[in-house]
Structure 1
């Protein structure tokens, strides 16, 4: 797919981090972008910078997502590109003991459900609604109508202690990539997934410098955190390379996460 002003894109979690980097890279090619996010201040500022549109969207809420797509399509037209970057983390053991008093506990079920609802169900919700909209588009070269990219994590394969919910949600994104691509193949819609490693995102930016240095040292090569624009570069490649379909790709500097 050629990236220019004839193409529009929706990026969930687009107000910061990986989503913002992807929005900037697409907009640099002239693509009209819509940012879905709950952070209104950051989202509005970035949309103004890029000449796009911000839509305050909670990906766990069906009506909110519908309203977001309605607003986006009214402003920039039916999207041919969807990049799902909205997601959260969280850590707790499946079950354990309190180190102070020895009392036992288990992973809070509501926390587990929230992570799955945002990371997995939210991504599927946006993908299904975007794909339905793409069906109305005229096909481009080789019958292509659109492309969708989900954001998983290396935790989909190397989940660490406490990452049961997070890893499950990300592994499920990897698991649905190929069947979703097969669902949509006759309509000319491609589906891929990126599994980033340790990236310089707002979440990691808040960590102490010594912790970030330790994380950087754990990457085989290059020994640094990933840049959000490197994620965006891979997303761009998945979009413009029409033979890229049904794939889940690690982007991690060859890291394999240790148990803790």
Structure 2
């Protein structure tokens, strides 16, 4: 899929990774529709910093079907260019120290799953509908499916290295990201006849505001157990991986790990604290 003169939806596009991806697409001649939770006016001001002519903003709640559907309608009409791509970066890590009673974490984990897992389903589904409705409106109306040999779209969902290697420190976040990866493989198979590819990227620790006070803890863990380079990922390194997945038409149903060889594991050495208590804040 070429980037030049095509439109891409970027969720979480005001964050570090999302903004780097949006800027990269614009730099290559593409157009972007940024979806995020910021108020419309504030989001528009921030989006202008990406491009005054090739980027637009739409305030969107990714857990709300109507909100996402409205955003996809905007994206389909924006710039009078083909809507071909979705890069779904939006997500949360709702951290808290683990209590003795795991039942006390249920409400928070449920909310995080609603955003990270169901949000991915909603955004991916409605983007695919927007692409398919452009090519086959009558068949969509009649509930029919079809087969095409034409590449029509590409979806890239953000999973996490934690989704591939769940550990005690990330009890709530990891399973949700594992669900994102599994869903994306299934969706790639489902949408194949529609000419829409689906892949995931699984970063380790991104150097972004989302990490907050946890960043020093994870830097120490990377230093100890990453292969090379033993450091957080810069947002620009994520955008390079996304560009590859967009442009290489043979990449489908694939999870691209961006982790410097970091492996999440539980250290139960006798001279260490309980691993559930080590990080400054946990899911």
With the length of structure 1 as denominator, give the TM-score of the two structures. Answer: 0.88
Contact 1:55/1:68, CA 8 A, preserved across alignment: yes
1:120 correspondence with 2:126: no
3-state SS of paired residue (1:8): strand
In 2, Cα distance between equivalents of 1:237 and 1:176: 21
Which residue of the partner structure matches residue 84 of structure 2?
80
Q: CA RMSD in A?
A: 2.3
Contact persistence 1:160–1:258 (CA under 8 A)? yes
Aligned to 1:207: 213
Comparing 170-179 with 189-198, greater Cα deviation is found at 170-179
Length-normalised TM-score, structure 2: 0.81
Contact 1:84–1:150 (CA<8 Å) still a contact in 2? yes
Q: Which residue of 2 aligns with 1:18?
A: 17
SS in structure 2 of the partner of residue 4 of structure 1: coil
Distance in structure 2 (CA, Å) of the matches to 1:223 and 1:232? 19
Aligned to 2:37: 38
Task: Give the Cα separation in 2 of the matches to 1:96 and 1:165.
Answer: 13
Question: How far, CA to CA, are the matches of 2:134 and 2:9 in structure 1?
Answer: 15
User: Once superposed, which parts of structure 1, at least 4 consecutive aligned residues long, lie more than 6 Å away?
Assistant: none
Structure 1 unaligned spans of 5+ = 98-103
Distance across 2 between alignment mates of 1:105 and 1:165? 11
Deviation at 1:179, TM superposition (A): 1.4
Alignment of 1:100-179 (within 5 A): 104=101, 106-137=103-134, 143-179=150-186
How far off is 1:137 after superposition? 4.4
Partner of 1:254 in structure 2? 261
Aligned residues: 250
Structure 1 residue 64 corresponds to structure 2 residue 67: yes
Distance in 2 (CA, whole Å) between partners of 1:167 and 1:213 is: 19
- Aligned counterparts of 2:214 and 2:89: Cα–Cα separation in 1: 25
Gaps of 5+ in 2: 137-147, 267-274, 276-283
Q: 8 Å contact 1:222–1:253 — kept in the other structure?
A: yes
Residues 35 and 47 of structure 1 are in contact (CA less than 8 Å); yes or no, is this contact kept in structure 2?
Answer: yes
Displacement, 1:207? 3.0
Q: CA deviation at 1:249?
A: 1.7
Change over 3 Å in CA distance of 1:191–1:105 after alignment to 2: closer
Aligned to 1:240: 247
In the TM superposition, what is the alpha-carbon distance from 1:213 to its structure 2 partner? 4.4
